[in-house]
Amino acid sequence: MKKALTASQLEHLEEHIPYELLMLRFTLGKLRTEKHPLTWNGMLESFAVHARNLYWFLINKRNHAEDHIAREFAETYTVPNASDMTGPFQRLNQQVMHLGKQRKKISTDKFHTDDAEKVANWIEIAMPKFRAALAPEEIQDRFKLEAVPAQGSIRYDQLIALMPQQSSSSFPQFWFTKIG
């Protein structure tokens, strides 16, 4: 018999994982449309953080003992083929996540919006598979994947906070009440 999820795991299902997906979708939309180069770079950096968090979670990569991974939540979850993600994530790590010797100067060697699309598409395929593997159904119901607006949704422009955002990495307080 599967043991019950911990309070930390339930919090991740209800808040932190949806937040990461929310920010991934939002920043991808901005990468597609942003014209100012510094704002675009800021969106790329944000996209990189959320993409890497979700990717590592979904491929069951734990860098720290306190990191949650998908198989802790759903023993039957199987990782979708991630072989096509190697190149984009290498470029993303070299360009954004590290000030290392492998950074590229030539634009064609850098991480681009097309790479972000590939990464986001892989995550979008993996996320419902993860949700489907959650058991029992009551646990699935706590992971409100459908509450996160689809990429490009006008709902992102209609958000009004019920209270000022005072912290990062939280699922906005208005989400289920104003938009839900």
Structure tokens at 46: 């944000």
Q: Is the pTM of this model over 0.95?
A: no
* pLDDT tens-place string over residues 91-121: 888 888 777 787 778 888 788 899 999 999 9
Exposed, middle or buried, 16 (CB in 10 Å: 0-12/13-18/19+)? middle
Domain definitions of the chain by residue range: 7-151
- What mean pLDDT is reported for the chain? 85
Q: What is the pLDDT of residue 122?
A: 96
Asked if pLDDT for residue 84 goes beyond 50, the answer is yes
Instruction: Determine the distance from the C-alpha atom of residue 19 to the mean position of all C-alpha atoms in its chain, rounded to a whole number.
Output: 7
